[in-house]
Amino acid sequence: MAILPILEVPDPRLRRISEPVAAVTDEIRTLIADMFETMYDAPGIGLAAAQVDVPIRLLVMDLGDGPEDAEGNPGPNPRVFINPEILEPSEDHSVFNEGCLSVPDQYADVERPAHVRARWMDEHGVQHDAQLDGLLSTCLQHEMDHLNGILFIDHLSRLKRDMVLKKIEKARAGGSAGSGSARPAGSRRKAAA
C-alpha cells in the first residue's frame, strides 16, 4: 500500500469531471487500499479518487461509526462507493461545518439536502440502493461533488470563498507550506473529506 499525494486548491486537476468505473479490477482494488491508507494518514473521513489525481467515479469513506471495541469506543467502518448516484435529494436541508483535504485547514458551514436516496456499487461489485442521512448523507454529497469538479467552497458566497483561498495562500507563504502544518494550540481537530 502507499500514501498518495493529495491535490490541493487551486490545482486545476480538481476541476475535472471523473469518468465511470467500468469494472472492479485488481488495479482498482489496489487504488482503493491506497486511498484508505492516504485518508487515514491525512487524517480525513472521506476521499475521492479525483483528489489523488485519478479522475474516476470512486470514493472511500470512514465515519468511525463501526462496531464498538471492548472499551466501548466506536470502531472503524470503511465504506467504498463506486459510480455513486443520488436519486432523490430531500427537500429539507441540514448544515454541517465541512472541511476538505484539498482545501487544507479551512472549515465552513455548508447547507445541503439532509437525506438522499443513493445508488452505488461496492468493492465486491455488489449494487446498493439506500436512504442515507446525517453525516453519511453530507459526506457522500461532498465526495460526489469532487467527482464533478466541485469543491465545498463553491457552495459559499464569493466573498467567503475568496477569504478561504487567501488564507491558504497566506499560510503557504508564511512558511507552513509542506507537510506537517502547525495547528493553533487548543484547536480541535475537525473532520475533513
Q: Which is nearer to Zn ion, 164 or 193 (CB)?
A: 193
Please provide residue 41's backbone torsions phi and psi, each rounded to the nearest 5 degrees. -70, -30
Question: Is 144 near Zn ion (CB under 5 A)?
Answer: no
Q: Which is nearer to Zn ion, 24 or 193 (CB)?
A: 193
H/E element, 118: strand 116-121
8 A C-beta contact, residue 192 and residue 100: yes
Question: Is 100 near Zn ion (CB under 5 A)?
Answer: yes
Of 103-142, which residues contact Zn ion (CB under 5 A)? none
Number of shown-chain residues binding Zn ion (CB under 5 A):
2
- Closest separation in Å from C-beta 144 to Zn ion: 10
- Closest separation in Å from C-beta 109 to Zn ion: 15
Question: Is 9 near Zn ion (CB under 5 A)?
Answer: no
Stretch that binds Zn ion, among 75-83, 97-105, 153-161, 183-191 (CB under 5 A): 97-105
Q: Which is nearer to Zn ion, 24 or 104 (CB)?
A: 104
Report CA-CA distances (Å) from 26 to 21, 22, 75, 127, 129: 13, 13, 27, 19, 24
Scanning the structure block, which residue is given the C-alpha cell 465511470? 20
Stretch that binds Zn ion, among 4-12, 16-24, 96-104, 171-179 (CB under 5 A): 96-104
Q: Is 143 a catalytic residue?
A: yes
8 A C-beta contact, residue 98 and residue 108: yes
Q: Which of the following is catalytic: 91, 98, 143, 169? A: 143
Task: Please list the alpha-helical segments (H only) found in the chain.
Answer: 26-41, 134-147, 158-171
- Closest separation in Å from C-beta 147 to Zn ion: 11
Footprint of Zn ion on this chain (CB under 5 A)?
A: 100, 193
